[in-house]
Amino acid sequence: MYQTIILGSLLLVSLYILKRVREPKKNMPPLVRYKFPIIGHTYSYLFNCEEFLKQCKAEYGDIFSLYVWGQVKTIVGKEYSQEILSRDDAFSFAVAFNRRFPGGELLKNLGSISPTRLLKDYIFCKLNFYSERMQKSLYLATQKYIDIGDHNEQKTFNNMYYLMTRIISTPIANIFLGEEEYQYDEIINTFAEITSDLSLFLIIPPILDIIYPGLQNYFNCILIRTGIYNPALKHQDILIKHINNQVCKRLQEKDKYGDSWKRPDDFLQDIMELDGFDSNNVNCSSLADKICALLFASIHTTASGCANVFMDLASRPQYMQELYEEQLEVHKEADENGVLPFEALNNMKKLDSFVRESFRLSGHIVSLEHVVLKDYTFSNGLQVPKDRIVNIYAEDVYQDESLQGPNPKSFEPFRHVDVNASAAKIGKNYLSFGGGKHACPGRYFAINEIKFFMHNMILNYNFRTASGKIEKRRMIGPMALPSSGGIIIEKRVK
């Protein structure tokens, strides 16, 4: 028995050495020196990332590699980041994400239709159509979650991200499930909390990957399969219940009223009318999983962005009056119910610039993790092998004067007003929504929702940080989260 194990081990080692000898030598990015085996650069990457990466770039250049959590990953600076975003034949964000997140185990009933494709076909192409519903839902949610009372009262709100997840979720629930379902608290809570609950698999450090790459994700899959831990179940159950109620109600009403039936205008109804939808055998689990996937991709990013914009303005009250005057002018276009025409978004130029600046300085040091799909040679001659993890050095992009203009490190809210760069416009100097043909398709929806929310808040409220200082993002390694500092909000006296 032991002889067999020893011989097998020797054979594997021999084959590995032989394979390495036969492989052509690659011009790999330099591996930054490290002192401690196994740990490598993990500690510096997690607890001193900003300064550490600056030192690495100064010493090793625009592309270098680190040894983090038991494997080598390559950091790519501003000069070559667009190669990653434009070469989808060589780099994949989706593959990298799936290696870290057990989505296939959590959402087993997605089916063959891509949720992203559904959004493109039935949501993002109808932004004008959904504009009024978005505004009304945002207004109602703001009244519900930011209830100030009379004009003389002021309140302090902590952790704006928590509030934003619920405010942002309200119009999305309206558009996804209909104008009845979004009024249920359990639906709003599911929309707001699903990303945070499922993201635990991304937040937990991949310690097991030190033993073998991919072992952490395999362990997470075992937890889900065995039923030890599955945070998606409670959200799936809630969605299935509400979807089933809506589907049954709509089918019965359509059968009862025939041609006089008033068709609901929402995402759920669009899915129900897809070819292949069987009204006699409705798969509510599949519908629920599709919506879960969409929520995971959209709620957190929009709520985080909105919380950051709100906190950035509260931190810089000197810009409030200028934005207020712009929004007063824009609001002249509103109807008798206070609803703006969709085109009014184009006239919020200063607000749009403020939003873009907030996204630009989101605080992420590295972002957009990709997997190398095949051996790739960068334009400077450095090569990365298949299966290597690469990250874009976002801070290198955002702190470069040639890309951002003068004083790139400072928050200048109106720097984008006269340069034809909207908050949703991607480019080599703006990575918030990715790039290339795989750039986030929901970026216009997200930016519109943030602008409508901020329009209402600027017109009706005054707000400032409780500390009276500029609140900075919270950092977890190279990633940034909205500040949890307090904001004092009071009604504006007009």
**288's tokens:** 């629920």
Which strands make up the sheet holding 154-157, listed edge to edge?
154-157, 487-491, 461-465
Residue 51 to residue 57: CA distance in whole angstroms: 10
Predicted local confidence at residue 7, as pLDDT: 55
254-312 per-position pLDDT tens digit = 999 998 999 999 999 988 887 677 777 788 888 899 889 888 888 999 999 999 999 99
Determine which helix (DSSP H) or strand (DSSP E) holds 329, and give its type and residue range. helix 320-331
From 4-13, 54-63, 234-243, the region with the lowest mean pLDDT: 4-13
308 against 110, higher pLDDT: 308
From 20-24, 242-246, 414-418, 424-428, the region with the lowest mean pLDDT: 20-24
CB 78 within 8 A of CB 429: no
Say yes or no to pLDDT of 461 above 60: yes
Burial 245-265 (b: 16+ CB within 10 A, else e): ebbeebeeeeeeeeeeeeebe
Predicted local confidence at residue 24, as pLDDT: 55
Predicted local confidence at residue 19, as pLDDT: 44
Find tokens 């130029």 and name the residue.
349
402-412 per-position pLDDT tens digit = 999 999 999 99
Tell me which long-range contacts 438-441 makes (C-beta under 8 A, separation of at least 24): 438/85, 438/88, 438/93, 439/85, 440/301, 441/116, 441/119, 441/120, 441/124
Range ranked top by mean pLDDT from 49-53, 206-210, 213-217, 296-300: 49-53
Residue 220 to residue 205: CA distance in whole angstroms: 12
Predicted local confidence at residue 18, as pLDDT: 44
90: closest CA among 309, 330, 373? 373
Predicted local confidence at residue 13, as pLDDT: 45
Residue 239 to residue 1: CA distance in whole angstroms: 53
User: For the residues of 59-100, what is the DSSP string, one character each?
Assistant: HH-SEEEEEETTEEEEEE-TTTHHHHHH-TTTEEHHHHHHHH
Residue 39 to residue 410: CA distance in whole angstroms: 35
Average pLDDT over residues 478-489: 94
Number of H helices, E strands in the chain: 20, 12
Predicted local confidence at residue 150, as pLDDT: 64
Say yes or no to pLDDT of 111 above 80: no
Three-state DSSP class for residue 181? helix
CB 62 within 8 A of CB 380: yes
Residue 288 to residue 177: CA distance in whole angstroms: 11
Q: Is the alpha carbon torsion for 185, 448, 115, 106 positive or negative? A: negative
Predicted local confidence at residue 356, as pLDDT: 97
- Number of C-beta neighbours around residue 316 at 10 A: 15
Identify the band that residue 21 occupies on the pLDDT scale cut at 50, 70 and 90.
very low
128 by Cβ neighbours in 10 Å (0-12 / 13-18 / 19+) ranks as exposed
Residue 157: beta bridge partners?
487
CB 176 within 8 A of CB 291: yes
Say yes or no to pLDDT of 436 above 60: yes
Q: Is 440 annotated for ligand binding?
A: yes
Say yes or no to pLDDT of 343 above 90: yes
CB 67 within 8 A of CB 40: yes
Find tokens 């980041």 and name the residue.
81
Predicted local confidence at residue 12, as pLDDT: 45
Average pLDDT over residues 203-214: 88
From 164-173, 202-211, 336-345, the region with the lowest mean pLDDT: 202-211
CA distance between the termini of the chain: 86
User: For the chain, what is the mean pLDDT?
Assistant: 89
How many Cα neighbours within 13 Å face the side chain of 117? Answer: 7
CB 359 within 8 A of CB 421: no
Percent of the chain whose pLDDT exceeds 90: 69
**351's tokens:** 């607000």
Say yes or no to pLDDT of 478 above 60: yes
Identify the band that residue 23 occupies on the pLDDT scale cut at 50, 70 and 90.
very low
DSSP single-letter state for residue 268: H
The phi and psi torsions of 375 (rounded to 5 degrees) equal -50, 130
Q: At what angle do helices 443-460 and 127-145 cross, to 10 degrees?
A: 40
CB 417 within 8 A of CB 353: yes
The model scores a pTM over 0.85: yes
358-369 per-position pLDDT tens digit = 999 999 999 999
**Domains assigned to the chain:** 2-491 (1.10.630.10)
Angle 91-196-473 (CA atoms, 0-180°, nearest 5)? 80
Predicted local confidence at residue 117, as pLDDT: 79
